[in-house]
């Protein structure tokens, strides 16, 4: 099955590394013109130059800081003054790890701005042109922790759950415009984020990061950590016409990690 995204324009958040970068590459490989977003201009410049390019494709990047909502809204609003997108991938870096006893109200507000308000604001801007075109794809990068909370990710558990339920409601409201809205529930993937979390956990437990990773792999039925490119394959499918009847869903990509239905 070929995924053909020729003529489509995609905006991918958090795409200077990890899962976001893999998504951008797969969308470009499938023919879409991709705009990358992250804080690191140098990383973005390098990735844009590496993205696959065929006839009709044009890639670019946008330097944004998801942590500063006020500045972010101005930057992204300016972008949409001169650009439209067919495919929006909502993805940001995760908030700081920690359990509920380690977090306070300002921490939750900061995470809400980062994970929820940026997503809703960007989607509102993208939807205006999607509704005019009567076609669009909104894909949210979420986490398996919205179904089975991880004690050391209290902020992410809480706010990403809000994103997923918002997305379910949005899918109902925009379905008549042939716009689909789906969330991907992320399991363990070989990224810098996982490495950072593993390092913190290793320090807390007084063991090596190799031991932490081995224990993590043992919990996955497939007995391995996911490859970012595997994530990109799923998102490219959801972005295509092949997935036109899939909306309002939360799809785990976790090697079977989730135990719940």
Phi, psi at 74, each rounded to 5°: -70, -45
Written as six digits, the tokens of 13 are 């958040």
- The answer to whether residue 245 is catalytic is no
Rg over alpha carbons for the chain, rounded to the nearest Å, is: 18
Written as six digits, the tokens of 211 are 């031991």
**Which residue is catalytic, options 152, 188, 231, 233?**
152
| DSSP single-letter state for residue 245 | T
CA 137 to chain centre: 13
Tokens 């973005």 locate to 44
User: SS3 for 36?
Assistant: strand
To the nearest 10°, report the CA torsion of 216, 153, 141, 166.
140
User: What is the C-alpha end-to-end distance of the chain, expressed in Å?
Assistant: 28
DSSP sequence for 148-187: S--TTBHHHHHHHHHHHHHHHHHHHHHGGGTEEEEEEEE-
Tokens 């958040």 locate to 13
Written as six digits, the tokens of 14 are 């958090």
Cβ-proximal residues to 124 (8 Å cutoff; 6+ apart), any chain: none
Active site residues: 152
């Amino acid at each position: 099955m070929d995924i053909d995204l020729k003529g489509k324009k995609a905006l991918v958040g958090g795409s200077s590394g990890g899962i976001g970068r893999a998504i951008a590459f797969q969308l470009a490989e499938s023919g879409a013109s991709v705009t990358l977003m992250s804080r690191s201009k140098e990383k973005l410049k390098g990735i844009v130059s590496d993205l696959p390019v065929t006839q009709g494709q044009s890639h670019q990047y946008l330097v944004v800081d998801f942590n500063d909502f006020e500045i972010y809204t101005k930057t992204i609003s300016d972008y949409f003054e001169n650009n439209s997108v067919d495919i929006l991938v909502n993805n940001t870096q995760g908030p700081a790890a920690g359990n509920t006893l380690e977090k306070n109200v300002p921490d939750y507000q900061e995470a809400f701005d980062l994970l929820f308000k940026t997503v809703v604001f960007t989607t509102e801007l993208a939807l205006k042109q999607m509704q005019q075109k009567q076609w669009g794809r909104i894909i949210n990068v979420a986490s398996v922790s919205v179904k089975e909370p991880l004690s050391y990710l209290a902020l992410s558990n809480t706010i990403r759950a809000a994103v997923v339920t918002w997305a379910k409601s949005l899918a109902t409201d925009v379905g008549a415009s042939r716009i689909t809205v789906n969330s991907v529930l992320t399991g363990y993937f070989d990224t810098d984020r996982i490495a950072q979390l593993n390092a913190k956990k290793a320090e807390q437990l007084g063991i090596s990061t190799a031991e932490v990773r081995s224990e993590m792999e043992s919990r996955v039925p497939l007995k391995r950590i996911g490859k970012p490119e595997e994530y990109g394959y799923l998102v490219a499918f959801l972005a295509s016409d092949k997935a036109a009847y899939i909306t309002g869903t939360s799809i785990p990509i976790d090697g079977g990690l989730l135990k719940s239905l």
